[in-house]
A = this chain, B = another copy of it.
Amino acid sequence: MITAVALEGLPEIEAGFDLAAAIARHPSFQPPQPGDILVVAHKAVSKAEGRVRDLAEVNPGERAFALGTATGKDPRHVQVILDESREVVRASRGVLITETRHGFVCANAGVDASNVPGDEAVVLLPLDPDASARRIRSTIRQLTGTAPGIVITDSFGRAWRSGQCDVAIGCAGLKPAEDLRGTSDSQGRELKATLIAVADELAAAADLTRTKSGREPVVLIRGAGRHVTAEDGPGAVALIRDPAQDLFR
In the complex, whether A177 has a CB less than 8 A from a CB of chain B is yes
Interface residues of A in 105-161 (CB under 8 A from B): 105, 112-116, 119, 155, 158-161
Q: Which of B186, B189, B205 contacts A201 (CB 8 A)?
A: B205
User: Which residues on B sit within 8 Å (CB–CB) of A178?
Assistant: 212
Q: A90-B247, A192-B112, A247-B92 are in contact. Are A186 and B164 (CB under 8 A)?
A: no
CB atoms of A246 and B197 under 8 A apart:
no
User: Which residues on B sit within 8 Å (CB–CB) of A97?
Assistant: 247
CB atoms of B201 and A213 under 8 A apart:
no
Contact digits for A191-227, partner B, Cβ 8 Å, 1 yes 0 no: 1111111101110110111001111000000011000
Interface segment, A1-9, A50-58, A78-86? A1-9
- Separation in Å of the A48 CB from the closest CB of chain B? 16
**Candidate in A113, A158, A207 with the most chain B CB atoms within 10 angstroms:** A158
CB atoms of A201 and B212 under 8 A apart:
no
Copy count, this protein chain: 2
Q: A160-B248, A205-B208 are in contact. Are A186 and B239 (CB under 8 A)?
A: no
User: Which residues on B sit within 8 Å (CB–CB) of A202?
Assistant: 208
CB atoms of A4 and B5 under 8 A apart:
no
In the complex, whether A162 has a CB less than 8 A from a CB of chain B is yes
CB atoms of A195 and B247 under 8 A apart:
no
Q: Which of B92, B105, B215 contacts A159 (CB 8 A)?
A: B105
Q: Which of B3, B214, B247 contacts A186 (CB 8 A)?
A: B214
Cα distance A190–B121 in the bound complex, in angstroms: 13
Interface residues of A in 166-188 (CB under 8 A from B): 166-167, 176-178, 180, 183-188
Q: Which single residue of chain B is at the shortest CB-CB distance from A121?
A: B189
- Separation in Å of the A117 CB from the closest CB of chain B? 11
Cα distance A208–B197 in the bound complex, in angstroms: 10
CB atoms of B215 and A186 under 8 A apart:
yes
Given contacts A159-B159, A185-B212, A205-B205, 18 further A-B contacts (CB under 8 A): A1-B3, A2-B3, A2-B208, A92-B247, A112-B192, A114-B190, A155-B192, A155-B196, A161-B240, A162-B197, A162-B240, A163-B176, A163-B195, A164-B193, A165-B201, A196-B212, A201-B205, A204-B204
Q: Which 7 A-B pairs have the closest CB atoms?
A: A163-B197, A155-B193, A204-B204, A205-B205, A159-B248, A105-B160, A115-B190
